[in-house]
Amino acid sequence: MLSDTSATGPVLTESLLQRLDVPGPRYTSYPTADRFVEAFGPAEYRQALEQRAQGATVGGTPPLSIYVHIPFCESVCYYCACNKVITKHHDRAEEYLQALEAEIALHVAVLGTGKAVSQLHFGGGSPTFLSDAEIERLMNVLRGAFRIAPGAELSIEVDPRTVSAERLQHLARLGFNRLSFGVQDFDTEVQKAVHRVQSYESVRELVLSARALGFESLNVDLIYGLPKQTPESFARTVERVGELRPDRIALYAYAHLPARFKPQRRIDPAQLPPPGHRVQMLGNAIQGFLGFGYTYIGMDHFALPGDSLAAAKRQGRLHRNFQGYSTQPDCDLIGLGVSAIGRMGPTYSQNAKTLPEYYDAVRQGQFPVVRGLALTRDDLVRRAVIMALMCQGRVEFESIELAHLVNMREYFATELEVLQPLVEMGLVEIEPDAIQVTPRGWYFVRGVAMVFDRHLRADQTRERFSRII
């Protein structure tokens, strides 16, 4: 049993954790990316961009968010489910940068130059595969095409094995103000089992350097459920991360899907921790981070009380996009690079997943979009409900009814009925005019949101998702 104190939050029993340990989406979007269709392509994406451009001439539009995908990594991490290209040939970056520049130019041709950007994120792969000069070149192109708004969040994912204090200083000079370190686990045996060896000491030195350089926020990514992990070994990792005291922590559950992700076939399933141990790892990690003074943001994210993400949660300003929880209001997202996902108005889009296909499209002067989705009215209503649950833990009926012209109790009669077992478990409260996720239920908010996912209910094929515990 996980204890219940004012400092550490609600009681989470192992039986409750096990009961709710089912596969489910992370809801960085609704509908989820597995619902995208090939009928949405370059022409449809261009139309969505043109509609934004027309809106800007009529009454102005909110700032953009930009995601840049850098797929290259020098070595493969066996757990990885990201779109990546494993190579030690750094000269391959040149062709990719040229393609990114061409894709950026395609956007500028439709939107115009100098559109405001409030959020920029480099992800991968490993963005620090690029040299200092290459990252600077890409940032210069982006700044020439768009206007980085004052106070914008500029973040980059960092592989601790590929950077030094000097490289962090260069990133700071380029304007990056947020770093995300991929740690996963500090146990040496676990690191060997997933082919990602990096010492605690090296990460600690980078964290200290980043603090000295004045980065506004540092995030550390962790994964539980990896091969050779035990509740005891992962507790040591949690302790060490707590000592590092990053501003934010992302704690992900490992999803072993070797049929979908080829690198995972190198993992021996016999070395994976049993479900009971996974549950212990999660429960102990939650208690550990709360004990270190972190605020539980939602799902699998923690932040120090002084971090902007924790402040956004306290003030009801939390949002969610394809990069996870964000302090930025809902805004259109341009996804640049191979496999990148974007959102433009009531549409989603995804670029080609292979380099040859991506290169071929931009060389022909076409947006490299290969699939996407134009949201229906029902999608928009359900997205509003799911995002309210995921971000605020509360759905006010009146706000949904006024925005979407529906009667909540009639429109979601089936869903309100399906929620009853969660009400009985103390995870949700159904008020006369609202749905409220309880403090205990906040740890299982994905499970609450899944009730309103019409697509998920329709096919019940959930094994393509990670488990919610």
Q: From residue 278, how far is each of 285, 396, 400 by CA, in Å?
A: 11, 34, 37
Question: How far is 198 from 217, CA to CA, in rounded Å?
Answer: 22
Question: How far is 425 from 16, CA to CA, in rounded Å?
Answer: 8
**50-83: pLDDT as tens digits:** 999 988 654 568 899 999 999 999 889 988 888 8
Question: How far is 401 from 282, CA to CA, in rounded Å?
Answer: 37
Paired residues of 315 in beta bridges: none
Question: How far is 424 from 190, CA to CA, in rounded Å?
Answer: 39
The confidence band for 399, taking pLDDT boundaries of 50, 70 and 90, is very high
Contact predicate 378/454, CB 8 Å: yes
The confidence band for 302, taking pLDDT boundaries of 50, 70 and 90, is very high
| Domains recognised in the chain with CATH numbers | 14-333 (3.80.30.20), 377-458 (1.10.10.920)
371 is in an annotated binding site: no
Mean pLDDT value of segment 371-387? 96
73 is in an annotated binding site: yes
Mean pLDDT value of segment 270-276? 91
The confidence band for 381, taking pLDDT boundaries of 50, 70 and 90, is very high
Mean pLDDT value of segment 386-401? 93
- Looking at residue 135, its amino acid is I
The residue with greater pLDDT, 156 or 392, is 156
Structure tokens at 339: 């496999």
Contact predicate 347/36, CB 8 Å: no
79 is in an annotated binding site: yes
The confidence band for 101, taking pLDDT boundaries of 50, 70 and 90, is very high
82 is in an annotated binding site: no
Q: What stretch of H or E contains 237?
A: helix 231-244
77 is in an annotated binding site: yes
340 is in an annotated binding site: no
The confidence band for 282, taking pLDDT boundaries of 50, 70 and 90, is confident
Question: How far is 118 from 416, CA to CA, in rounded Å?
Answer: 37
Q: From residue 426, how far is each of 49, 100, 388, 435 by CA, in Å?
A: 44, 49, 19, 13
Contact predicate 223/254, CB 8 Å: yes
331 is in an annotated binding site: no
Percent of the chain clearing pLDDT 90 (strictly above): 70
184 is in an annotated binding site: yes
Sheet holding 146-158, edge to edge: 295-298, 301-303, 248-253, 217-224, 178-184, 146-158, 115-124, 64-70, 333-336, 341-344, 347-351, 369-374
96 is in an annotated binding site: no
The residue with greater pLDDT, 4 or 392, is 392
**pLDDT number for residue 175:** 97
The confidence band for 443, taking pLDDT boundaries of 50, 70 and 90, is confident
Is pLDDT of 6 > 50? no
The confidence band for 319, taking pLDDT boundaries of 50, 70 and 90, is confident
DSSP 49: H
